[in-house]
Amino acid sequence: MQFTAAQIALLVNGKIDGDATAAVASFGKIEEAQPGQLAFLANPKYEEHLYTTQASVILINENLELKQKLSATLIRVPDAYSAFATLLAKYQEMMTQQLNGIQQPSYIATTSTIGENVFIAAFTYVSENVQIGKNVKIFAGVFLGNNVKIGDNTLLHAGVKICHDCVIGNNVTIHAGAVIGSDGFGFAPQTDGSFKKVPQIGNVVVEDFVEIGANTTIDRATIGSTTIKAGAKLDNLIQIAHNVEVGNHTVIAAQSGVSGSTKIGDNVMIGGQAGIVGHITIADGSKINAQSGVSKSIKIKNTVVTGSPAHDYTATLRSQAATRNLPELEKRVKELEKLVQQLLAERVNA
């Protein structure tokens, strides 16, 4: 399938510089692209490749000034990286839209309902009273428990498990191996030293336009719902515990863990391997550095923290700078001690 520069420019609201009829059929990195491919340049650090690439069409930032002429057709846009992401999304959407129908062997309970233009791959198991919306794409080995609801235009990759009573919104993407709605980690200590399991009778609610990475696990609530709000993006290998709330458009990087009943605000950014204790709140717009350990609530919006236990980011940097200077400071203190001793000796001998 080929697209001309004119068609691509229309999709990304770009301005064409060169041959509008130049056609491409695939994508390539700017340093490796071949004729017939589309590439992009967003980072000026790689500008040298702009003058050597063989790509037929290149997306660039509209304010980039060329140092020499190019044979490729350019499409100038406000943000080349964002425009390229838009094109990739459109391409992926076109590829998945071609998938339709139900492959066998699959099991679909007679009490379940399935919308229009749905694709269900082989070895999928759809339990009782499941509701699947329109244009949903479900790949091999997916399990949907009783009473699960899947919204329109949602994509479930291979091996996803969504347990009973969970609700998945519209335009959600869940990647391979993710488990939504497994039991929360709830055990009551007994007098004999053993632990009694606390039944987890809530569910998980994933709102619209959420993306959940591969092998991420989101536990069902003890009572009520564990909630991932609209637009949130979760990386691979994340653990979200029972009754957690992740705010709108919050992003969490891989290997992070959030303990039970913690409320994370909107537009929060959490780096990889961060750990957050339970029953605290994280204010809107907070930024938590990678490998930070957050042990108490962050109450002020747009706070930046780092370290374990997490502290104010700027103060921590100052502390680190002071620590690096300790050897020099120690040397100066010793020199001052020697000077003081000499002055005292001179005063005694005077």
Catalytic residue ranges: 242
* Spatial contact of 251 and 267, defined as CB atoms under 8 Å apart: no
Report d(CA 220, CA 205) in Å as an integer. 9
Report d(CA 86, CA 48) in Å as an integer. 24
Phi and psi at residue 313, to the nearest 5°? -60, -50
Q: What is the DSSP letter of 105?
A: S
Report d(CA 289, CA 258) in Å as an integer. 14
Q: What is the DSSP letter of 298?
A: B
Q: What is the DSSP letter of 193?
A: S
Q: What is the DSSP letter of 1?
A: -
Helix (H) or strand (E) holding 11: helix 5-12
Q: Dihedral sign for Cα 347, 348, 349, 350, please.
A: positive
